[in-house]
Amino acid sequence: MRDQRFVAAHRGGPLDRESHTLLAHWAADCAERVLPLFVRHSVDDRPQRALDIARMWARGDVETGVAMKASAAAHAAAREATDKAAIAAARSAGHAVATAHFADHCMGALLYAMKALEASGEDARAALDRQLASLPLHLRNIVAKGVYARLKPLGVLQSSDG
C-alpha cells in the first residue's frame, strides 16, 4: 500500500507538482553522492543516465514514461553488478528516477544510498541525517517517517540503534 501523502495531485493525492519535483531533485542528489561507488566497478552509464533523466523530468523536459524506462535500466545495471556497494548505488539511481512515477520512490534513493555507503565501510547515519536535513520541513517529516519505517526491513543501520 502506497503512502497516500506521496500521491501526486494529478492522481487525486495531496502532493503538489512543486513538492514532487523537489523530491525528484532531492532523490537524484542522494543517489549522485554514491554513484562513484558504482562507477568504480563499472563503465555502464545507465545509473548516471537515470539521474540525468530524473532531473530532466523535474524540469519538465521528459515524460514520466522516459523516467520509468530509465529506472528499469538502472536496476538492470544493478543486477549485472557484483560489488555490493555498486549494486546499491545503481538501485539508488533507479529509485531516484522512479520518483517521477511515484514520489515515494524518493525514499528508496536514500535507503539504497545508505546501503551503498554501509557496503563500502562509510557512515550511512551521517548520510541519513544530512539528506533529511536538506529537505524543507513539510517534506522532511513525511520522508523521515517513511525512511525510518523501512530501515530495519531493508537491513540498513542494523549495527546501530537506528
Q: What is the pLDDT of residues 20-48, one digit of tens each?
A: 999 999 999 999 999 999 999 999 999 99
pTM above 0.85, yes or no: yes
Please give the distance of CA 139 from its chain centroid, rounded to a whole number. 15
pLDDT for the residue numbered 1: 65
Taking only the tens place, the pLDDT of each residue in 66-82 is: 999 999 999 999 999 99
In the prediction, which pLDDT does 2 show? Answer: 75
